[in-house]
Structure 1
Amino acid sequence: MELLDTLNRPQHRYTELDRYASGRQKLAYLSPEARIALPALNRIVSNIPGLAVTSLAERLRVTGFKGVDIWDEWLANDLDQASTILHREALTFGDAFVIVWARPDGSPLATVESPQQVAVIKDPATREIESAVKRWRTKTEDYAVLYLPDRVERWRARTAEAANTAFELVETLDNPLGVVPVVNFCNASRILGCGRSELDDLIPLVDGLNATLAGLAVAQEFTARPRRWATGIELVEVPKLDGNGDPVVDDDGNPVMETVNPIPEGNRAMIAEGENAKFGQLPGADLKGYENAVNIWLGQIMAVSALPAHFVGITTENPSSAEALRASESSLTARAEARQAVFGRSWEQVARLMVAIRDGVAVDSVDVNVVWGDPASRSVAAEADSVTKLYQSGLLSRAGALRRLGYSEDEIEAERRERLRDDLSAERITADMMRGVNWDDLNKTLEDVEQ
């Protein structure tokens, strides 16, 4: 099957990207001899790729939709939490997916999917998805689901790691939506080609940084500390001991001797009786060169990833105010806004599919726009003060002010109802009671206001 070939083709690349995203990659720029001699150095990894992905993903927050009331279904599918995971997948691998189908009760079901399990084929003319597949494995069997505009096919292979030709058709379901119910979140910066990982430009730079850190660790262990030296004293021979503390003997039964330093490393005072004995100390190695090299690598990493200096541990560049913080993160914020524009179309298609399943309408008839949270770092007090001034001057409505503060559409609607309820003042309630209005009528008035 062509779809399974499309799914299998980039798996090696995804495995490599996953290692870098989780900080499990091996050190680069090391000779084979160094890899054998220094195996522990593979643990010296600065996980900047993971930081770059997380820093972008945490700024991509869907706060609501305009045009349709879909927030209850959004929360029912845990997309308020799963959407962050999907953004992280798309930024890491270049692609991620959402599959939208119906539950047994008819309500929409939306699941976020990894490109390690899902692949699509698009029409080169319209760039619309023509077909999609999801494949997963158990210990004994392989499963695949084929999504087409008119049907959904379930396939199964009786053996794990089965070849593409080993699958058998198990079930076919009609697809009343008329479109493939799979939405691609493509982290694309150009028209042609597949999605691009945020790690692609970082990998060679991070490899260089980690190699420098490994060299720093070796220098710190062997040359950074001052070393003492002594001349004019005789070395001491002592019996060599095995792991149990017993003397080691040769073939003739004589103890094996080894030469050791007559002055133990831990002694604070070095004493020798010989008149020619001399003592001195070698200075520790200057590690400033490693510091300069690390800063060079970090400078290139910041230029490529848009990470500000205080994100990568350069403490001398910490912003001193909220405005300075926003200015230092302006490039990262702009990149997050670009990703919002790219992923926004996909979330709108997800909303169309969910509404089509819930209301039984055509997918193309649903008009919806996604609402994103502000990707910039905000000082809550400063933002509230700014919004209050805009509202008091008449430039913002109450709903617009709440939206600027990050409230979702449902939260704004709930706040509006509460406000209307509060506007039914105590004077009005008291006046109605004095005119003889009974409690049932008063409660009905309150319910009418809420509605």
Structure 2
Amino acid sequence: MADYRGVNYLRRRLQIKSERVKMRYKYYEMKNRVKDFQISTPPELRNVQSVLGWCGKAVDNLADRIVFREFTNDNFDIGEIFLMNNPDTFFDSAVLSALISSCCFVYISVDKTGFPKLQVIDGANATGIIDDSTGLLVEGYAVLERDKNKNPKTEAYFTKGDTWIYRKGDETPERIKNNVPHPLLVPIVFRPDAVRPFGHSRISRACMDIVNSAMRTVKRSEIAAEFYSFPQKYVVGTDPDLEPINKWKATMSSLLEFTKGEGGDKPQLGQFAQQSMSPHNDQLKMFAGLFAGETGLTLDDLGFVTDNPSSAEAIKASHENLRLIARKAQRTFGTGFLNAGYIAACLRDNYPYERRQFYLTKPKWEPVFEPDAAALSSYGDGAIKINQAIPGYITQDKMKDFTGI
């Protein structure tokens, strides 16, 4: 225990980091509030908040394209562990959580039969000290359960060979020993680097700032729409001794009568220039372009139709940046899932395997973009020509990697 930072250190670290994760979940769930500059907004509307789902679109558009298929050369049958842990929900939940919070964690335990059980914990409820060379944790901490006030009710501290369970109200933690050479908490990281080994969130600071500006633009456009629908009118030259005109009735009425004054002067009617919605539309489109450039999306993805319906190849070409981001995410997520399978296999077999024994096992993913009929035809022609030059080079498995079929 002398080399570990300890549970108290990790508790404090999680308290610092969790606020950033919660903020990004607010943007994903469209619950973020935007500061009003209080310049053009009437006082009665300053508490009104507009809603914009661009951050959720940026996350979902990428998460829906990252689909895990299987492990090849699975010498230790780790695929069976994932199959017994509801893989349709597990992989999607882990990918989505890692994209939002930059890192999620897989908590590995055993069920009543002794088989490994996998649980995804978001970045706001778990943290640890990571080993940069393996991507595994040296020690970890997670909040497994919270009470109705969001205070920790059940916590877990992970070290090599031990898991300590802290329950609210108990004086001493429960110690659960295992024969695993690493903690039973595995990180799944999105875009890690040497400075930030726990990765970067898909909802970057630029994304949040652009969405804030766009939400203020939407709010201003709604206010301007009221003046656009009912432009301001005026009447000059009325008799001051007459009863004042009911403004709302005068606006909605189809017939008004004005009489001459005592001096024979007749009132003159007029209308101010109607406010235009174009500046708000242009500004919102500008922010949409900035957000699309930041996330690898297109204006069509954000609701601005620019061209006629495109073919599958045209859509793929316009999303080249998104494809590169997805391929990068597949590589880092694949390492995380393989690490989780490795730890789970050690727990299942009650044997401390070495990580290098799993070097042959590789994760496989579905294609980022599904090909259409024209693409399938071109793939077939290409496979025939390649196999004529190098017999047997394009196999059934390689075609499945290209097409998903």
Q: Does the alignment reach a TM-score above 0.5?
A: yes
Residue in structure 2 matched with residue 269 of structure 1 by the alignment: 255
1:332 and 2:335 matched: no
Is the 2:136–2:182 contact (alpha carbons within 8 Å) kept by the matching residues of 1? no
Q: Deviations 1:191-221 (Å, cap 9, x if unpaired)?
A: 1224221222211111111111111111111
1:178 and 2:178 matched: no
Distance (Å, rounded) in 2 between the aligned partners of 1:382 and 1:328: 17
CA displacement at 1:24 relative to structure 2: 1.1
Structure 2 portions without partners, runs of 5+: 1-7, 388-392
Give the letter for the 1:84 counterpart. D
Tell me whether 20-29 or 317-326 shows the greater mean CA deviation.
317-326
CA displacement at 1:138 relative to structure 2: 2.2
Tell me whether 226-235 or 365-374 shows the greater mean CA deviation.
226-235
CA displacement at 1:171 relative to structure 2: 1.6
Which residue, 150, 159, 162 being the options, matches 1:151?
Answer: 162
1:101 alignment partner, SS class? strand
2:374 alignment partner, SS class? helix
Rg: which structure is higher?
Answer: 1
CA RMSD of aligned residues (A): 2.8
**1:126-137 correspondence runs (5 A):** 128-135=136-143, 136-137=145-146
Q: Deviations 1:295-348 (Å, cap 9, x if unpaired)?
A: 221221111111112101120245532221111111111111111112111111
1:226 and 2:231 matched: yes
Is the 1:129–1:180 contact (alpha carbons within 8 Å) kept by the matching residues of 2? yes
2:345 alignment partner, SS class? helix
Which residue, 280, 296, 305 being the options, matches 1:290?
Answer: 280
Structure 2 CA distance for partners of 1:124 and 1:357, relative to 1, 3 Å: closer
Is the 2:27–2:208 contact (alpha carbons within 8 Å) kept by the matching residues of 1? yes
Distance (Å, rounded) in 1 between the aligned partners of 2:141 and 2:62: 28
Structure 2 CA distance for partners of 1:203 and 1:101, relative to 1, 3 Å: same
Distance (Å, rounded) in 2 between the aligned partners of 1:209 and 1:326: 27
Residue in structure 1 matched with residue 44 of structure 2 by the alignment: 37
Is the 1:356–1:366 contact (alpha carbons within 8 Å) kept by the matching residues of 2? no
Distance (Å, rounded) in 2 between the aligned partners of 1:263 and 1:179: 77
**1:307-386 correspondence runs (5 A):** 307-361=297-351, 362-364=353-355, 365-367=357-359, 368-376=361-369, 378-386=370-378
1:64 and 2:75 matched: no
CA displacement at 1:405 relative to structure 2: 3.0
Residue in structure 1 matched with residue 82 of structure 2 by the alignment: 74
Q: Deviations 1:371-403 (Å, cap 9, x if unpaired)?
A: 111112x34423433444355553522333334
Distance (Å, rounded) in 2 between the aligned partners of 1:45 and 1:79: 33
Structure 2 CA distance for partners of 1:78 and 1:400, relative to 1, 3 Å: same
Which residue, 189, 200, 219 being the options, matches 1:196?
Answer: 200
Is the 1:302–1:308 contact (alpha carbons within 8 Å) kept by the matching residues of 2? yes
Which residue, 12, 16, 30 being the options, matches 1:9?
Answer: 16
Which residue, 208, 211, 217 being the options, matches 2:216?
Answer: 211
1:21 and 2:34 matched: no
Distance (Å, rounded) in 1 between the aligned partners of 2:241 and 2:98: 65
Distance (Å, rounded) in 2 between the aligned partners of 1:208 and 1:298: 10
Structure 1 length as normaliser, TM-score?
Answer: 0.76
Distance (Å, rounded) in 1 between the aligned partners of 2:161 and 2:401: 40
Structure 2 CA distance for partners of 1:311 and 1:127, relative to 1, 3 Å: closer
Structure 2 CA distance for partners of 1:127 and 1:349, relative to 1, 3 Å: closer
Residue in structure 1 matched with residue 96 of structure 2 by the alignment: 88
Distance (Å, rounded) in 2 between the aligned partners of 1:169 and 1:32: 57
Give the share of equivalent positions with the same residue, in percent: 19
Structure 1 portions without partners, runs of 5+: 159-166, 239-257, 408-451
Is the 1:86–1:96 contact (alpha carbons within 8 Å) kept by the matching residues of 2? yes
Distance (Å, rounded) in 2 between the aligned partners of 1:209 and 1:222: 20
Structure 2 length as normaliser, TM-score?
Answer: 0.84
Distance (Å, rounded) in 1 between the aligned partners of 2:248 and 2:81: 78
Structure 2 CA distance for partners of 1:104 and 1:226, relative to 1, 3 Å: same
Distance (Å, rounded) in 1 between the aligned partners of 2:42 and 2:96: 32
Tell me whether 355-364 or 97-106 shows the greater mean CA deviation.
355-364
CA displacement at 1:235 relative to structure 2: 7.7
Distance (Å, rounded) in 2 between the aligned partners of 1:288 and 1:32: 20
Is the 2:107–2:120 contact (alpha carbons within 8 Å) kept by the matching residues of 1? yes
Q: Deviations 1:231-267 (Å, cap 9, x if unpaired)?
A: 33458988xxxxxxxxxxxxxxxxxxx8634953322
2:300 alignment partner, SS class? helix
Is the 1:235–1:260 contact (alpha carbons within 8 Å) kept by the matching residues of 2? no
Q: Deviations 1:6-58 (Å, cap 9, x if unpaired)?
A: 2211122222212111111112352399595324531x121211111111111
Count matched residues: 378
Structure 2 CA distance for partners of 1:318 and 1:169, relative to 1, 3 Å: farther
Distance (Å, rounded) in 2 between the aligned partners of 1:77 and 1:281: 69
Residue in structure 2 matched with residue 434 of structure 1 by the alignment: none
Structure 2 CA distance for partners of 1:147 and 1:206, relative to 1, 3 Å: same
2:250 alignment partner, SS class? coil
CA displacement at 1:107 relative to structure 2: 1.9
Distance (Å, rounded) in 1 between the aligned partners of 2:319 and 2:221: 30
Give the letter for the 2:402 counterpart. R
Structure 2 CA distance for partners of 1:341 and 1:124, relative to 1, 3 Å: closer
1:196 alignment partner, SS class? coil
Q: Deviations 1:67-86 (Å, cap 9, x if unpaired)?
A: 11443432321122221122
Structure 2 CA distance for partners of 1:189 and 1:125, relative to 1, 3 Å: closer
